Structure 1
Amino acid sequence: MLEQYRIHIEHKGRQHQLLNALLALATGVLTLGYPNFLYLIAGAYLVGLGLLFVMFKVSPTVAAIPIVSGVIIFFFPELIPATLATFLAFFGFILLFGFQFALMGVLTLIIAALIIANPDSVAYLVAIFLLFYSISNLIRYYQNWKSDDTIIF
Structure 2
Amino acid sequence: MANYYHISFQQHKPKERTVLNALLAIATGVLTLLYPNFLYLIAGGYLIALGVVFLWFKTPAFIAGLPIVTGIIIFMFPEIIPIAFAIFLGFFGLILLLAFQFSVMGFLTLIIAVLIVMNPESVAYLIAAFLLLYGVSNLIRLFRGDDNRKGPGHIEDAKVIEE
Whether TM exceeds 0.5 here: the answer is yes
Query: 3-state SS of the aligned residue for 2:7?
Result: coil
Percentage of matched positions with identical amino acids: 60
Aligned to 1:133: 134
Q: Residues 1-153 of structure 1 correspond to what in structure 2 (within 5 A)? A: 2-10=2-10, 11-144=12-145
Per-residue CA distance 1:82-127 (angstroms, 9 max, x = gap): 0000000000001111111100000000000000001110000000
Greater fraction strand:
2
Counterpart-to-counterpart distance in 1, 2:24 and 2:34: 15
- Corresponding letter in the other structure for 1:131: L
Query: 3-state SS of the aligned residue for 1:8?
Result: strand
Per-residue CA distance 1:34-91 (angstroms, 9 max, x = gap): 0000000000000000000000000011111100000000010011000000000000
Counterpart-to-counterpart distance in 2, 1:122 and 1:90: 17
**4+ aligned runs moved over 6 Å, structure 1:** none
Aligned to 2:153: none
* Bigger relative contact order (CA 8 A; separation at least 6): 2
Task: Give the superposition deviation at 1:2.
Answer: 4.3
- Corresponding letter in the other structure for 2:66: I
Task: Give the superposition deviation at 1:140.
Answer: 1.1
Greater fraction helix:
1
Counterpart-to-counterpart distance in 2, 1:12 and 1:56: 7
Counterpart-to-counterpart distance in 2, 1:74 and 1:117: 22
Question: TM-score, with normalisation over the residues of structure 2?
Answer: 0.85
How many residues matched?
Answer: 146
Counterpart-to-counterpart distance in 1, 2:92 and 2:55: 16
